[in-house]
Chain A
Amino acid sequence: MEKEIEEKFKKAVVELKGVKMTALESENILKNILNSPAQITQGKPSPYFFSFISKIETRKFVYIMTPCLIVFILGGTALASQGSLPGNILYPLKVRVIEPAYLSIQSTPLKRATYASFLVDKRLTEAETLAKEDKLDESKEEELSSLLKVHTNTIDLAINESENNTNNNLKENESVNEEIVSKFETNVDAHAQVLNSLQVKNISLFKFESESSIAGQNENQDFGKNKISEAAKEGALKLRENLEKKEGKKIPEEIKEVNKEESVPISQTSQNTPTKNTNSDTTNSDTTDKALEEAQKILDEYDLKDLDPGN
């Protein structure tokens, strides 16, 4: 009996196992599967290059537009900073990033010196703009003065570099450097006069508002000493001194004293000093003698012996 039951169970299982697909059904299913798109085996994509490209493909807009947006914003900021003045939020970007970057890409010392001269001109123009609007306070003066010193140093270094470059023609070098320094002096002098007169005007107006009588009396008094113009003139003098030293000339002490007292514009002094030596046979000592002669003439003309500190 028990065996019979066990046999029944086994028979039930065997009957169940007999349930199958027909041959046609089986063949059709196999055909459908093998012809399905899943049959096309694709190579395994590289986890590195391919996935990077595919990411860009899927989010093309983001990956293309984001760099463009960054460039646009940076470019716009740089452009906006060009007209900024001390005190403006973009001014540090202009003087500490953009201008130094542009200076660094100048390929020759001459170009660097020229650009640095342009920057000096720019600083002085900014000072004039602020002075016109009566916004030139002490902190801005300080900032502009320090920038002028930096630019002047740059010109000096560039001139040194060109002098030391033995590949260049010596006389041509001297001529070019002289031109740079002369132009620098002229510009500085012109801007200094403008700045000083603006300062006088502002002070006069101030005094007129507070004490009208005193302003009238002090019209002729020299209020023209301006920190920025002083810094610019010091820079010009330094350049002149260094240039003369290199060319074997020496500026008389009296002329240095004269320039410090500010009575004589630097540009006038430099114009009368013979620095250009076109004659190849002239020695350095000859040119020094000629410079001394000319300087003496100037002293005589302005009667500056009276300004000798010894008196």
Chain B
Amino acid sequence: MKDEEFKIIYTEESDSIFRFCLTRVSNREQALDITQDTFLRFWQSLSKEEEIRNNRAFLFTIAHRLIIDWYRKKKSISIESMANNENDMVYDVVDEGTLEEIGLGAESRFLLEKIKELPKTDQDPIYLRFVEGLSPPDIGEILGISSNAASVRLNRALEQLRKITGYSEVKQ
């Protein structure tokens, strides 16, 4: 029974998680590893019969934390980030080579580059909202912030994105 339930969830969400990981790490293999780890931990939680209210938000939360852990191991922590006590993940745009490898078109590459120009705290909310279609409460749960804070960051990020992309008429 749990196997079937897990397979269903995996089929529905695995690509979203993979995409989320890929847009943050610079390597497809690494993205696959993190995706596997995410679903493994999800599977362990299911086995322990832990209560999961929102499968999708829970998966993104796990992936988000695993990516942070990976960055902490890989990247050296700068004095500036330590001073700012940044817990948010440093959004790292996939390099050109990887973008070509995964077959991203010109528009999507442009969008990703512009998202990178936004403040670090606003990059994730924009991506999760427009690409993955998550609601502000879910975004708040994933990032470990309140729903209101997620909405504020979203609006701010959208306003900024319109200015830098010229998508001034794009609405939420």
Contacts and interface: CB of A to CB of B under 8 A. Distances in A.
B40 A38 contact: yes
Interface in B155-172: 165-170
Contact of B14 (A12, A26, A38): A26
Interface in A151-194: none
Nearest to B3: A34
Given A12-B110, A16-B19, A25-B32, A39 B43 contact: yes
B108 interface: yes
Contacts of A38: 40, 43-44, 47
B104 interface: yes
What is the interface of chain B mostly: helix, strand, loop, or mixed?
Answer: helix
Contacts of A25: 32
A12 B111 contact: yes
A32 interface: yes
10 contacts: A2-B168, A8-B107, A9-B111, A13-B130, A16-B104, A17-B19, A19-B15, A25-B32, A29-B39, A39-B3
Given A16-B108, A25-B32, A33 B14 contact: no
B112 interface: yes
Interface in A19-48: 19-21, 25-26, 29-30, 32-34, 36, 38-39, 41, 44
A2 B169 contact: yes
A41 B35 contact: no
B60 interface: no
B35 A9 contact: no
B111 A16 contact: yes
Interface in B40-57: 40, 43-44, 47, 49
A197 B165 CA distance: 121
A138 B19 CA distance: 97
Nearest to A44: B49
B111 A29 contact: no
B18 A13 contact: no
B71 interface: no
B102 interface: yes
Nearest to A30: B10
A135 interface: no
Contacts of A8: 107, 167
B38 to A, nearest CB: 10
Nearest to A38: B44
A4 to B, nearest CB: 10
Interface in B20-50: 22-23, 32, 35-36, 39-40, 43-44, 47, 49
A13 B36 contact: no
B166 to A, nearest CB: 6
Given A11-B107, A12-B107, 8 more contacts: A2-B169, A5-B169, A9-B165, A17-B131, A29-B36, A33-B39, A38-B44, A38-B47
A258 B134 CA distance: 113
A33 B43 CA distance: 8
Contacts of A36: 40, 43
B97 interface: no
Nearest to B169: A2
A15 interface: yes
A34 B2 CA distance: 11
Contact of B105 (A15, A34, A44): A15
A20 B103 CA distance: 10
B169 A6 contact: yes
Contacts of B167: 5-6, 8-9
B22 A30 contact: no
Contact of B107 (A15, A30, A32, A34): A15
